[in-house]
């Protein structure tokens, strides 16, 4: 997704959280630059690199997933505020008490089933699921949209070779006419288990995209786990669709990981392996 708003990230202070809650709360726990736990609630702020309206997609994503039968956090309130000269959107939601879904082969199959259920909602158009979200530039075709995303990431690494090879194959393979409701960033960390309930979280990147997108993003995320979960997920994935497109997307998603999670991959000693896999799948 090519960003219209190329802004630097900012660090939101607890004082802004206090202002929004009007001091009517207990302890504040900072989860990330934009997410805070406040007792039994979560407050999330929009990413300054996007339009302030981009959180509408996450809110609509939760509602859509709920209609499809998923357990999702309740949204209590939505608002806007000015902070350091920038307009930010925020929402307050229910804090889910549960454990992250364990990474094992059984649960890889479970996540594939969750993705299949998400994809029951489909459309003949691609892009944002709500007109309220104007974060992403409009594109004339889905191919153009996909290439812009890859081009944006390649510029960060100055990797013209990857972009050239990806464009060459994408022009032959990407010819979708129907698009499905995608989570956009599905991985074990975004799935919580509370007793018999499974909660799907963090729909910030949800959009109408092609039917392989969620599967390959999730499968690529398995590269950081042991027990050959990546190869197990890939074997499941290749049994349900076009192998050429899957391999192209896996190359793309692993490349993205090598860019955006470089330090984490290097720390566990697999950065070099991931880069080799990108060449292998491309």
pLDDT digits over 58-87, tens only?
999 999 999 999 999 999 999 998 887 888
pLDDT at 51: 80
Contact of 128 with 50, CB cutoff 8 Å: no
Question: What are the residue ranges spanned by the domains of the chain?
Answer: 14-94, 99-281
Residues of the chain with pLDDT under 70: 1-11, 23-26, 134-138
Q: Which fold has domain 99-281?
A: Aminoglycoside 3'-phosphotransferase; Chain: A, domain 2 (3.90.1200)
pLDDT at 221: 96
pLDDT at 11: 67
Pairing of strands 35-38, 28-30: antiparallel
pLDDT at 158: 73
Output the CATH code of domain 14-94: 3.30.200.20
Reading across the β-sheet that carries 179-182, which strands appear in turn?
122-123, 179-182, 207-209
Tokens of 194: 């509370």
DSSP assignment of 168-227: HHHHHH---S-EEEE-SS--GGGEEEETTEEEE---TT-EEE-TTHHHHHHHHHGGGSST
Contact of 99 with 192, CB cutoff 8 Å: yes
Instruction: Provide the whole-model pTM.
Output: 0.90
């Amino acid at each position: 997704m090519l960003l219209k708003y190329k802004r630097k990230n900012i660090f939101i202070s607890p004082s802004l959280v206090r202002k929004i809650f009007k001091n009517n709360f207990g302890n504040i726990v900072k989860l990330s630059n934009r997410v805070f736990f406040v007792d039994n609630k979560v407050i999330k702020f929009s990413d300054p690199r996007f339009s302030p309206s981009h959180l509408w997609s996450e809110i609509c994503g939760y509602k859509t997933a709920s209609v499809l039968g998923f357990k999702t956090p309740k949204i209590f309130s939505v608002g806007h505020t000015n902070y350091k000269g920038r307009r930010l959107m925020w929402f307050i939601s229910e804090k889910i008490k549960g454990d992250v879904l364990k990474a094992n082969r059984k649960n890889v199959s479970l996540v594939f089933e969750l993705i299949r259920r998400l994809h029951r909602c489909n459309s003949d158009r691609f892009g944002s699921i709500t007109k309220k979200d104007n974060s992403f530039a409009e594109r004339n075709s889905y191919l153009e949209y996909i290439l812009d995303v890859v081009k944006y990431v390649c510029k960060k690494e100055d990797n013209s070779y990857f972009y050239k090879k990806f464009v060459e194959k994408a022009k032959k393979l990407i010819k979708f006419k129907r698009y499905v409701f995608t989570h956009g960033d599905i991985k074990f960390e975004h799935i919580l288990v509370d007793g018999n309930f499974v909660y799907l979280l963090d729909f910030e990147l949800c959009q109408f995209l092609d039917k392989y997108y969620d599967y390959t993003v999730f499968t690529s995320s398995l590269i950081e786990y042991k027990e050959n979960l990546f190869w197990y997920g890939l074997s499941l994935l290749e049994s349900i669709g076009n192998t050429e497109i899957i391999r192209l997307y896996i190359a793309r998603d692993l490349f993205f990981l090598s860019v955006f999670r470089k330090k984490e991959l290097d720390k566990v000693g697999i950065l070099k392996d991931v880069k080799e896999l990108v060449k292998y799948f491309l």
